[in-house]
Structure 1
Amino acid sequence: MVQAKNQALVDIVQPIIDKQGLLLWDLSIKKIGGQKTVELLVDLPNHENISMAQITEFTQAVNEALDTAEVDPVPGEYMLDIASPGMDRALNEPWHFAWAKEAGDPITIALFAAKDGQKKWTGEISQLDDSKLTLTVDGEDKTFTFDEIAKAVVSVQF
């Protein structure tokens, strides 16, 4: 999940995550409109939804930890963005797919190249291993390697 360059930041936030009983869904540092942004996506484990009060408490603790860190894990000016990954959360890491499978959440995958005539597939993960997943789509199993998948998200059904 964490690139080596972000390890110093993880080392600061992980104790806060552990203390508050949260789940670090994703951490990224990117440029948005010329501004460096540190994005932390947090949630509760066991498929519970985090509240705004919990995000606020976490944000305050992270701000304090970053302000008092001996070495700045993110040199220069940056904006800190802490949020929930949302219902339609991106699935980027192998454990994200396992999380979706465990919850029984349908997912939508977009492929780099069409397979069986289409590039987007939505279904529930029926099988999962280190290199591929199988989606049950309209009662039929379709297997995709992770190398084929350009993007994957939890599919929100209303």
Structure 2
Amino acid sequence: MAQAKNQALLDILEPIIADQGLLLWDLNIKQVGGQKTVEVLVDLPEHQNISMAQITEFTQAVNEALDSAEVDPVPGEYMLDIASPGMDRSLALPWHFAWAKDGDLAVTLALFAAKDGQKKWTGEITDLRDTGLTLQTDQEKLEVNFDEIAKAIVAVQF
């Protein structure tokens, strides 16, 4: 998350997030094709799903706060993109993995290098450590360090 990158923006967002009982999943400031985009992903805690009405209310509050800020926390022109992280949300921070474990959610890990002959694994997190996790797959328990993970997402189950 961009905490160290833009504390001024977080200082504006955090009171609104707390007031509305939301969870900040991720914050990114990206430059794509000459367009700067501030992406804010919010959700409800405790594995609840945020509604479109709640995202709209949050967006309005953020717009008002940014418009009235004494100093623009994101200099220059930018597009504000506020959304839910979605069902197949990315897992990047240790607390993201703890959130998935607490919800008994299956996750898919794409590894930088193959383990036991494959790079992509899906299963449930059975153990978390400071340095990594244990993934219970259909075939085995797999020990993975966080620095071995190229990408991790919640595996959508139908």
TM-score (norm 2): 0.98
Whether the 8 Å contact between 2:90 and 2:154 is mirrored in structure 1 is yes
Within a 5 Å distance, the mapping from 1:1-158 to structure 2 comes to 1-138=1-138, 140-158=140-158
* Distance in structure 1 (CA, Å) of the matches to 2:33 and 2:126: 40
Q: CA deviation at 1:99?
A: 0.1
SS of 2:9's partner is helix
- Partner amino acid, structure 2, of 1:26: D
Q: CA deviation at 1:139?
A: 5.2
SS of 2:5's partner is helix
* Distance in structure 2 (CA, Å) of the matches to 1:68 and 1:137: 50
Q: CA deviation at 1:32?
A: 2.2
TM-score (norm 1): 0.98
* Distance in structure 2 (CA, Å) of the matches to 1:144 and 1:53: 39
- Partner amino acid, structure 1, of 2:38: V
Question: Which consecutive unaligned segments of at least 5 residues does structure 1 have?
Answer: none
Q: CA deviation at 1:31?
A: 1.1
Whether the 8 Å contact between 2:90 and 2:153 is mirrored in structure 1 is yes
* Cα deviation 1:59-117 (Å, max 9, x = unaligned): 00000000000111000000000000000000010000000000000000000011110
* Distance in structure 2 (CA, Å) of the matches to 1:51 and 1:139: 37
* Distance in structure 2 (CA, Å) of the matches to 1:5 and 1:114: 32
SS of 1:113's partner is strand
SS of 1:4's partner is coil
Show structure 1 runs of 4+ deviating over 2 A.
none
- Partner amino acid, structure 1, of 2:100: A
* Distance in structure 1 (CA, Å) of the matches to 2:124 and 2:101: 7
Question: Which consecutive unaligned segments of at least 5 residues does structure 2 have?
Answer: none
